[in-house]
Amino acid sequence: MATIVLAPAAHADMLVGNYSLVTNRDPGHQWIWTIRACNPNAAGCRHIQAIPQPNGQAAPYGGVAQLSNGRYTFAVDIPDGVRCVVYFLPSHDVYSWDATTLAGSVDSTFDAGCGGAPGATTTHPFSLVRR
């Protein structure tokens, strides 16, 4: 009788490097995400450092993305996530993207909108393009 050995399910971590974040979330800036491994033994974990271009009037942000079921999820508090004409308000953003296609969406939740508008959650599509 032949013995069958099943290999564990393979998953490919996202390549480390620099990526352009392509989205209409913040039309005044282009964002570069520097992505690196959390540490050599942490499969499915990537550290994100987001850098605005141009860097004026936008705060860099960063944190950790985790891989689960083929999707990365990255949650971060953005001090200037709601961009009003002459001031900014904070938002809590949750990015989720497919590990293979690098396409996903960001849900941005905020307690107050511009001009006294009520808080809300907006969703924007995005993709990551390796630079």
- Tell me the per-residue pLDDT of 21-67, one tens digit each, with 9 for 90 and over: 999 988 888 999 999 999 877 789 999 999 999 877 888 999 999 99
In this structure, the dihedral spanned by the alpha carbons of residues 124, 25, 129 and 55, taken in order and rounded to 10 degrees, is -160
Q: Is the pLDDT of residue 116 over 80?
A: yes
77-107 pLDDT per residue, tens: 999 999 998 899 999 999 999 999 999 999 9
Contact partners, residue 22, CB within 8 Å, separation at least 6: 126, 127, 128, 129
14 contacts 30 by C-beta, under 8 angstroms: no
Residue 110: pLDDT band (50, 70, 90) is: very high
Please report which confidence band the pLDDT of residue 2 belongs to, taking 50, 70 and 90 as the band edges.
low
Q: If DSSP codes are grouped into helix, strand and coil, which group holds residue 4?
A: coil
pTM for the predicted model, two decimal places: 0.87
The DSSP result for 37-54, as a single string, is: ESSTT-TTEEEEEEEEES
State residue 12's pLDDT score: 66
Q: Which residue(s) pair with 72 in the sheet?
A: 67, 97
d(CA 78, CA 81): 5
